[in-house]
Structure 1
Amino acid sequence: MWAPSKAVNGEKKSEEKSLAPYEFDKNEPGNLARRCIDQPRRMKVICIGAGMSGIITGIFFPRQIANLDLVIYDKNPELGGTWYESRYPGVACDVPSHAYQFTFESNPHWSRYWAGGAEILDYLRHVATKYGADKYMKFNIRVTKAEWNEEGGKWHVALERTDTGETFTDTSDVLLSATGALNKWKMPDIPGLDSFKGPVMHSATWDPNFDVTGKRIALIGGGASGIQILPQIAPKAKYVDHYMKGKTWIPPFGIGALGVLNRSGDPVTPQDELDAWKDPANYLNYRKEIERSLHGASDVLYKGTDNALAFQKMCEDHMRSKLAKKPEIFEALKPDFAPACRRLTPGPGYLEALVRDDVNFISTTIKEVTPTAIVTKDGKVREVDAIVCATGFAGYQQHFPLIGKNGINLQQQWEDDIPESYVGLAPENMPNYYCFLGPNGGPGVGSAVPFLEFGARYMIKCVQKLQREWLKSMTPKRSAIKKFGEYTDKYLEPTVFNSSCRAWWRHHLNGRILALWPGSALHGMYLWSNPRWEDYEYELKDEQHGNPFSWLGNGYCVSQVEGKDTTAYLDDENLKVPVVNPLEAKYLEGQVSF
Structure 2
Amino acid sequence: MDRQEKQGIPYSQFACIGSGVSAIGLGATLKRWYGITDVRFFERHSDLGGTWFANTYPGCACDVPSLLYSYSFAPNPRWTRVLALSGELLEYLRRVADDYDLPCKMTFGADVKRCEWLQRSQRWRIHIRNVADGSMTVHECRFLFAGTGVLVAPRDPGLPGIGSFDGPVIQAARWRPDVELRDKNVVVVGNGCTAAQIVTNIVGEPKQLTQFVRSKHWIIPPIDVPTSTALQWSFEHVPGLLALVRFVAFLYAENDMRGFYMTRAADRFRAHREALTVRYVRKTAPEKYHRLLIPDFDIGCKRRIFDPGYLKALHATNLDVTDDPITRVLPDAVQTKSGATTKADVIVLATGYITNSFMEGIEVVGRNGVTVGEHWESFDGPEAYNGCALNGFPNFFMLFGPNTVSGHTSAIMAIENAINYALRVIKPVIDGDATAVEVKREAETQYSQQIHEDLHKTVWWAGCGSWYNTTGRSGKTWNAMTYPYSQAYYWYKCLFPAYGDWNYTWTPNAARRMFLRRGLKLVLWAGFLLGVVRVLESGNYLQTIQQRLPF
Counterpart among 444, 448, 451 of residue 488 in structure 1: 451
Question: In structure 2, the residue corresponding to 1:488 is in which secondary structure?
Answer: helix
Contact 2:404 / 2:414 at 8 angstroms: preserved in 1?
Answer: no
Q: Secondary structure at the match of 1:313?
A: helix
Residue in 2 that maps onto 1:182 = 151
8 Å CA contact 2:281, 2:290 repeated in 1: yes
2:348 to 388, 399, 422: 388
Residue identity opposite 2:352 in structure 1: G
Q: Distance in 2 between matches of 1:574 and 1:145?
A: 55
Aligned twin of 1:299:
258
Q: Distance in 2 between matches of 1:576 and 1:70?
A: 40
1:406 aligned to which of 361, 368, 371: 368
State yes or no: 1:56 paired with 2:14.
no
TM-superposition CA deviations, 1:105-161 (whole Å, max 9, x none): 222221111110001111111111122232322212110111112232221110012
Q: Matches of residues 551-566 of structure 1 in structure 2 within 5 Å?
A: 552=512
Corresponding residue to 1:88 among 57, 73, 83: 57
Deviations 1:83-110 (A, max 9, x none): 0000000000000112111112222221
Out of 358, 367, 385, the residue aligned to residue 422 of structure 1 is 385
Q: Does 1:353 align with 2:319?
A: no
Cα distance change on mapping 1:64 and 1:523 into 2, 3 Å: same
SS at match of 2:32: helix
Tell me which residue corresponds to 1:477: 440
Aligned residue for 1:259?
none
- 1:569 is displaced (CA, Å) by 4.0
Cα 1:239/1:412, change in 2 over 3 Å = farther
Give 1:448 deviation, angstroms: 3.4
CA distance in 2, matches of 1:283, 1:462: 31
Kindly provide the amino acid, as one letter, of the partner of residue 422 in structure 1. Answer: Y
Query: In 1, Cα distance between the equivalents of 2:391 and 2:204?
Result: 50
2:501 paired residue number? 535
Partner of 1:288: 247
CA shift for structure 1 position 559: 13
For normalisation by structure 1, the TM-score amounts to 0.80
Q: What letter is aligned with 1:97? A: S
Asked if structure 2 preserves the Cα contact closer than 8 Å seen for 1:444 and 1:519, the reply is: no
Instruction: Write the letter of the residue equivalent to 2:150.
Output: A
Aligned twin of 1:268: 226
Give secondary structure in 1 for the equivalent of 2:220: coil
Cα gap change, 1:450 to 1:321, in 2 (>3 Å)? same
- Conserved 8 A contact 1:466-1:474: yes
Higher alpha-carbon deviation: 212-221 or 144-153: 144-153
Paired residues of 1:569 and 1:575 also in contact (CA < 8 A): no
Is 2:72 aligned against 1:72?
no
Q: Which amino acid aligns with 1:419?
A: P
* AA aligned opposite 2:242: Y
**Counterpart pick for 1:452 among 406, 415, 437:** 415
Counterpart-to-counterpart distance in 2, 1:425 and 1:520: 17
Paired residue type of 1:132 = D
Tell me which stretches of 4 or more aligned residues in structure 1 moved more than 6 Å. 554-560, 573-577
Question: What are the Cα deviations for residues 375-414 of structure 1, in whole angstroms up to 9, with x where unaligned?
Answer: 1122222110111111111223232111122222223444
SS in 2 for 1:240: strand
RMSD value over aligned CA atoms?
Answer: 2.9
2:548 counterpart residue number: none
Cα distance 1:493–1:576, how it changes in 2: closer, same or farther (>3 A)? farther
Q: 1:152 to 1:371 in 2, by over 3 A?
A: same
CA distance in 1, matches of 2:79, 2:402: 31
User: For the residues of structure 2 that align with 1:455 and 1:396, how far apart are their CA atoms?
Assistant: 18
C-alpha distance in 2 between matches for 1:556 and 1:200: 65
1:445/1:521 contact within 8 Å kept: no
Query: How many angstroms does 1:554 deviate by?
Result: 11
Change in CA separation of 1:521 and 1:52 when aligned onto 2, cut-off 3 Å: same
1:205 aligns with 2:174: yes
After alignment, is 148-157 or 418-427 more displaced? 148-157
Query: Whole-Å Cα distance in 2 between the matches of residues 419 and 566 of structure 1?
Result: 43
Q: Which amino acid aligns with 2:258?
A: D
Question: Residues 73, 43 of structure 1: CA spacing in aligned structure 2 closer, same or farther, 3 A cutoff?
Answer: closer
Q: Residue 335 of structure 1 aligns with which residue?
A: 295
Residue equivalent to 2:477: 511
Are the structure 2 counterparts of residues 272 and 473 from structure 1 closer, same or farther at C-alpha, using a change threshold of 3 Å? closer
Q: Following TM superposition, by how much is the alpha carbon of 1:476 offset from its aligned partner in structure 2, in angstroms? A: 2.1
Q: Match for residue 313 of structure 1?
A: 275
Query: Which has the larger helix fraction?
Result: 2
Q: TM-score, normalised by structure 2?
A: 0.86
- Per-residue deviation, 1:234: 0.8
Q: Which runs of 5+ in 2 are unaligned?
A: 3-10, 534-551
Is 1:446–1:522's contact at 8 Å kept on the other side of the alignment? no
